[in-house]
Amino acid sequence: MKRFVKNILIGAALLLAGCSSEPQTGTDRKVEELLGQMTLREKVGQMNQLSGGAWLAETAAKGEVGSILNCVDPAEINAVQRAAVEESRLGIPILVSRDVIHGFRTIFPIPIGQAATFDPAIVEKGARIAAVEATASGVKWTFSPMLDIARDPRWGRVAEGAGEDPYLDVQMGVAMVKGYQGDDLNDPTSMAACIKHFVGYGAAEGGRDYNSTMISERSLRNTYFPAFKATAEAGAATLMTSFNEIDGIPSTGNRWLLKNILRDEWGWDGMVVTDWNSAGEMIAHGFSRDLKHTAEQAINAGVDMDMMSYGFIQYVEELVKEGKVSEKEIDRAVRNILKLKFDLGLFENPYVDETASAKVDYAPEHLEAAKQCALESAILLKNSNDVLPLDKAKTILVTGPLADAPYEQMGTWAFDGQQEHTVTPLEALREEYNVIWEPGLAYSRDRNTKDFAKVRSAASRADAAVVIVGEEAILSGEAHSLSNLDLQGAQSELIAEVAKAGKPVVVVVMAGRPLTIERDLENCDAMLYSFHPGTMGGPAIADLIKGKAVPSGKLPMTFLRDAGQAPFYYNHNNSGRPCNGTETLLNDIPIAAGQTSLGCTSYYLDTGYGPLFPFGYGLSYTTFKYGNPVLDKAEYGRSDVITVSFELKNTGDREGTEVAQLYVQDLVGSVVRPVKELKGFQRVTLAPGETRTVTFDLPVAELAFWNIDMEHVVEPGDFKLWVAGDSASGEPVGFAVL
């Protein structure tokens, strides 16, 4: 009854608002009308996001919370919602949020693994499925996608993003936003996306989470902004500020980022939330005096909603009274929050059907898509003598701490995935082979080698050995930076031990980041890198090992020989002394050599210049030959489209899918330009012996960058272009932009 009366009041007011002369959309009108009825306390309540469930009902009834996170129990959600809708004065519904990062119940590969598919369609499908499952439990807002460019695998959160390349980041980010939000936010299965963490969080010094960053404005614009801008333009409903400071300014208090760039330059009209207590943490940064000061700085910088610092709810009324924060700023924030709630249809449908999730969680088509994504994301790094697929072996040894670890294989930020639904490689391989199972180690950090003799003897009884190693889920993700990226525990020793049996050794790595696996590669015949592959990782890996499917994943990050090489990325600028491949290495230096730097280039004496594997790398069970790229012209105007075609041939005897990649270099710029930049990719499936002409259309406008005058322009001049299966291959062709 109370709610009915409230709705009549709002309805009548809407009618009045309709008479105003200002042209407004229906939603804008509703927002203005509601805003007009709110007290300052109620407004601040909307700007407050708290973690919790049913116990927040009292707070909700007072209108002192606008959003909750970390509650996924539909009954609890409805209890808080009832308090907000039926007991608070204005009945404004609560927005329920959650970190749904790579699936809700059905867990897909971690985002870095999804990026390895180079397949935006499967990534979008994964996000759609996540939204269907999460909304069925009452979650209407996810804190995903994470768009942070990550060039340092020591940073644990590389697991959550698309890796080091801005172009791939854009494609993956846009796919996820589309998948989460669907065609219309108002659809019951749509949830709002949150592009995060704005910005530069992945550039933390030394890969240490939360650390300082020093990123120039040009580098922000050329490298770190593009995925945010593209997803903002694709309609991402919300954005999260980051924990880090850039050049001394924490993002949560950075007016230039949150107002000048986001609002004025990009014209984005979504809602901005802080990261967890990132407003409060501005005190530890030494940027704010106290909690009250943090609220003042965050709101004035452009933040709309405060996640868990409690600063807004405690101090905003005082700040307004003292004239330190204007009501105009508060209204701006509340408008953005209310608009999102209207757009999501929360006013019409605030409650979740408590029986809905049982009908959609782990639906067969969700599991099928998760398997497909895991299949496409596994990267074949080595395959000596075509040892894979193991299509003839009958009896195999399965060993390693990740072979039967249903919880670990889901990876980081898989809060709602239930391990009893995970299918492990051990289970799936048992469907294909006679399996001798010897775990060897109990978990990835285990150093106890007492069972190694048993493992070795089992290997000698098998036709081949499959060693599944990697990282426990907790070793990557937030706050899980590492300075040493070798396999943990005695896992490398386990691989070496198995190799002693002289049987073909296949290593599968399930990890949250690129590890330094050079010595492990030497001790195996084949290696598949699957990152943490999620609920259906087991069947996908079994299909790849058996040869029912062919690997097609490509590296979304450069793989290092040694963690000391980090940060290392393919699209770097050149030094004045680029490496030429003839450098003197540590052991070539004569004893008592005289001091000289002549002939020296930018490299390490011990690890050389190159990485272990370049960005974009990945083998198949077949081979592909790239013909020379042919351009439709030699010179282009700035509004032209470059059409590049080349023949791609499957030179092997089985069907396979190649991710053909297009790279460009701008040879001379008003500022130094990267040695190569990815500008396109296509997954091409070819039958044995088949040749196909592959075409890329590259608008010249996509060659624009932020130049010496901080203008986004295409500078005329000479360019090189490559088409290849990774970022280190192919012969360039030249073209000019006039």
- For ligand BGC, the binding residues (CB under 6 A) are 69, 99, 143, 196, 275-276, 478
> Tokens for 333?
């924030």
Distance in angstroms (rounded) separating the CA atoms of residues 562 and 733 = 33
Beta carbon nearer to ligand BGC, 242 or 336:
242
| 677-686 and 641-650 strand pairing | unpaired
SS (H, E, C) 168-204: HHHHHHHHHHHHHHCCCCCCCCCCECEEEEECCHHHC
CB of 166 to ligand BGC, least distance (A): 20
CB of residue 412 to ligand BGC, shortest distance in Å:
11
What backbone phi and psi angles, to 5 degrees, belong to 734?
Answer: -105, 155
Shortest separation between residue 360's beta carbon and ligand BGC, angstroms: 23
Between CA 264 and CA 270 the distance in angstroms is 13
CA-CA distances (angstroms) from residue 727 to 165, 504, 613, 675?
A: 11, 30, 10, 10
- Least distance in angstroms from the C-beta of 308 to ligand BGC: 8
Number of helical (H) and strand (E) elements in the chain, helices listed first: 22, 27
- Characterize the bridge pairing of strands 306-307 and 48-51: parallel
- What's the one-letter identity of residue 293? H
Nearer to ligand BGC, 86 or 478 (CB): 478
The distance of closest approach from Cβ of residue 478 to ligand BGC in the complex, given in angstroms and rounded to an integer, is 5
Q: Which two tokens stand for residue 373?
A: 């994504």
Spatial distance between the Cα atoms of 710 and 705, rounded to a whole number of angstroms: 9
The whole-angstrom separation of Cα 678 and Cα 661 is 7
Nearest residue (CB) to ligand BGC, 242 versus 424: 242
The Cα 442–Cα 469 span in angstroms is 11
User: CA-CA-CA-CA torsion for 613, 618, 622, 627, nearest 10 degrees?
Assistant: -80
Order of strands, edge to edge, in the sheet holding 434-438?
379-383, 526-529, 505-510, 464-470, 395-399, 434-438
Q: CA-to-CA distance for 389 and 375, rounded, in angstroms?
A: 14
Residue nearest to ligand BGC (CB): 143
**Is 69 or 295 the residue whose CB approaches ligand BGC more closely?**
69
DSSP symbol at 407: T
The catalytic residue positions are 275
Q: Checking DSSP bridges between strand 635-636 and strand 733-737, what pairing results, if any?
A: parallel
Give Cβ neighbours of residue 281 (< 8 Å, ≥ 6 apart): 243, 250, 252, 309
Min CB(197)–ligand BGC separation in Å: 6
User: Smaller CB distance to ligand BGC: residue 99 or 446?
Assistant: 99
CA-wise closest residue to 190 among 130, 239, 147: 130
Please report how close the Cβ of residue 56 comes to ligand BGC at its closest, in angstroms.
16
Q: How many whole angstroms separate alpha carbon 348 and alpha carbon 342?
A: 8
Alpha-carbon distance 224 to 570, whole Å? 15
Min CB(273)–ligand BGC separation in Å? 9
Q: What is the dihedral of CA 206, 208, 210, 212, to 10 degrees?
A: -20
Q: Which is nearer to ligand BGC, 99 or 438 (CB)?
A: 99
Can you read off the two tokens belonging to residue 598?
A: 């002549």
Length of the chain: 738
Minimum Å gap between C-beta 69 and ligand BGC is 6
For residue 139, the minimal CB distance to ligand BGC (Å) is 12
